[in-house]
Homo-oligomer: A and B are copies of this chain.
Amino acid sequence: MNIGFIGTGIMGTPMAGHLLDAGHALFVYDRVKVPQVLADKGAHACESSRAVAERSDVIIVMVPDTPHVQAVLFGDGGLYDGISAGKIIVDMSSISPIATKEFAAKIAEKGCGYLDAPVSGGEVGAREATLSIMVGGKQADFDIVRPLFETMGKNITRVGEVGDGQTAKVANQIVVGLTIEAVAEALLFASKAGADPAKVREALMGGFASSRILEVHGDRMVKRTFDPGFRIELHQKDLNNALDSARKLDMALPATALCQQLFSACAAQGGKEWDHSALIRALEVQANHEIG
């Protein structure tokens, strides 16, 4: 089975590397340039997404956001012009669930399968092949692609039909963002009230307030280590997918909207590249108080 891979950035390069290490023939395209490390492992560089599609059975896409996926699929020299019946497109980018359903419907016209399979776990997870992969699409397509997912990740869940993988990823990012907000308000309150936020964090661990975010991001807030990690601008992109989708679905996500505004307040202070735990800085400005 020939595999295509489009988008060899920070995430895509190690992911494609695992597929090559597993012995797959890999046809690769990137808007910028296919990295030397993949060429050294035997990747075949192609001149367009279309060329990748023509030579591959399963084509993986790993690009930043909805418009990039749209361009890869339907732009000039896009996948749509190169695919034929029986091929499967696997979008591992984190994009809009609603756009995903539209893309999949158009791809289905050509008799091709479509899986949305966004990941969480970041650069470290991509490098160590420990990504969580949330998949939407037909069971039969999932069964074919599953061995490829297993070379790239650990926690692989088929959530449901097309779009449901992206929906789960958006839900994940809502929970992560709002839990960061929860921990930030609590620790800042504790500090401003005169308590030691590190002690308060410890007292809260183990009870109903406990979470991975309290553990990891709470510790970052207390120690003020705001190097990413996961950059605020990426979380802004994910919450934009949440809020844009929610508007189209006619529903309110009030705390998600608030969280996005606080990320924007961080950006206003030059914080787009801070780790997302630095959301506390937006609250600190509003409290005229820095914890620690």
Contact = CB atoms under 8 A, between A and B. Distances in A.
Contacts of A250: 287-288
A190 B120 CA distance: 17
A259 interface: yes
Contacts of A98: 193
A48 interface: no
A210 B207 contact: no
A179 B182 contact: yes
A135 B254 CA distance: 34
Main SS class of interface, A: helix
Contacts of A194: 161, 163-164, 167
Contacts of A160: 195-196, 199
Interface in A182-219: 182-183, 185-190, 192-196, 199-200, 202-204, 206-214, 216
A57 interface: no
A168 B190 contact: yes
A146 to B, nearest CB: 15
A216 B212 contact: no
Interface string A170-184: 111011111101110
Given A194-B167, A199-B159, A186 B174 contact: yes
A252 B97 contact: no
Interface of A: 97-98, 120-121, 132, 134, 136, 155, 157, 159-161, 163-164, 167-168, 170-172, 174-179, 181-183, 185-190, 192-196, 199-200, 202-204, 206-214, 216, 242, 245-246, 249-256, 258-259, 262, 283, 286-289
8 contacts: A167-B189, A168-B200, A174-B186, A189-B242, A208-B212, A211-B211, A211-B212, A250-B287
